[in-house]
Structure 1
């Protein structure tokens, strides 16, 4: 039988989601725990692939398990797994739904703080910057849903069958003091390092070294910038994944207050 498993993880100490030999990864840790608890080899397929040090406050994977268990699997897994990986729900499916291919929306949030704060270390990206041009950064963000081809903002565009992404939403928010920034973007799919590359370009706009017209021209011409400078991974969260048949609220208690949408102090620009 197929199961969808709803999880969250702090990716700071992991080399990304995908299982690969010789490095610590989220998929490998989960498969090892599942195999140990269920006493049979278990292989899982995730809803996507987060990069090294990137977090997920909502993530799904599916697994096929032949024999039904007669114990509290969620409790045992959470007891066995490290504190930086949490299992929220285990959902029995009525067919062969696919965690990756069936997802219709993925949302990411990227957080920046512009002052040194030890309590945000690893949860938000630190950039020692002053007087960012938020108005111009917002203009660039507003351009994003108008374009579909994101070839210009991808490290390896030729490895994809196509580089079309249906960006449905993009916005920028700041806290009242203006020294914390949140970039939110939703799309049906994302390309390799696409969000971090976009964030890197937005920071250039904020610093005044790149214009909004130049930013939009990359999208229009599909030409990759001569110098790609992806933003740090630590501030990036996969924050929402939706399916036609499954749309669960994320467990905001898992993530830092930075990502809690109930925190009304954030002001959308």
Structure 2
């Protein structure tokens, strides 16, 4: 029987989602917990691969379990797992439904704070910056859905069969004081470090180092910038994953204080 498991995690202390020998990762922790509880080896497949120190307020993986369990698996998992991983739902699915390949939309949020705040440490990326040109940053972000080839904003584009991404929306918001930023982007897929690279370019625009026209030229010409400077990973969240047959709201009440309050307190620039 195939099951989709709906989870969220704070990735600050993990080296990413993917299982790797000798590296502390989210997938490995989950597989170990499932194997321990179900008394049989369990392998799982996630909806994507988040980088080291990146969070997910909504994430799905699937697993195939031959023998049904007769206890509250979600309760036991949440009791056994560390506090930075939460299980929200365990959903029986058809055998052919796939957590990674069937996803049609993925949404990410990237948070920045421009003052030192110990209570945002690890939940948002800290950049000590003043006087960012938010209007130009917004102009550049708004260009992203107009283009499909994101070869310019990828660390290793040649490892992919293609670098086409259907970016459906991209926007930049700020809080009332203007010292917190939120970048939101949705697409059917993302390339390696693509969002962090884009955010790094937007920060260069905000600081006056890069023009909006030059930013757009990378997309037009599929030309990689001479210097790629990905933004810090700690501010990045995989925040929504949608399937043709499954569209659950994120369990934002269990995610960071930034996303919990985002829709109430953030205004579009």
Fold equivalence (TM over 0.5):
yes
Partner of 1:157: 157
What is the CA–CA distance in structure 2 between the aligned matches of 1:137 and 1:199, rounded to whole Å? Answer: 9
What is the CA–CA distance in structure 2 between the aligned matches of 1:248 and 1:139, rounded to whole Å? Answer: 31
Alignment partner of 1:123: what SS? coil
What is the CA–CA distance in structure 1 between the aligned matches of 2:245 and 2:182, rounded to whole Å? Answer: 29
Residue deviations 1:193-250 (CA, integer Å, cap 9, x gap): 0000000000000000000000000000000000000000000000000000000001
Partner of 1:79: 79
Partner of 2:265: 265
Shift of 1:264: 2.1
5+ residue gaps in structure 2? none
Alignment partner of 2:265: what SS? coil
What is the CA–CA distance in structure 1 between the aligned matches of 2:30 and 2:122, rounded to whole Å? Answer: 22
Partner of 1:8: 8
Q: What is the alpha-carbon root mean square deviation over aligned residues?
A: 0.7
Shift of 1:257: 2.3
Partner of 1:231: 231
For the 8 Å contact 1:257–1:263, the answer to whether it is kept is no
Shift of 1:261: 5.6
What is the CA–CA distance in structure 2 between the aligned matches of 1:28 and 1:6, rounded to whole Å? Answer: 16
What is the CA–CA distance in structure 2 between the aligned matches of 1:211 and 1:37, rounded to whole Å? Answer: 54
Partner of 2:190: 190
What is the CA–CA distance in structure 1 between the aligned matches of 2:192 and 2:49, rounded to whole Å? Answer: 9
Residue deviations 1:66-118 (CA, integer Å, cap 9, x gap): 00000000000000000000000000012320000000000000000000000
For the 8 Å contact 1:112–1:124, the answer to whether it is kept is yes
User: Is residue 176 of structure 2 the alignment partner of residue 176 of structure 1?
Assistant: yes
Residue deviations 1:48-73 (CA, integer Å, cap 9, x gap): 00000000000000000000000000
Alignment partner of 1:41: what SS? coil
TM-score normalised according to structure 2 size = 0.99
TM-score normalised according to structure 1 size = 0.99
5+ residue gaps in structure 1? none
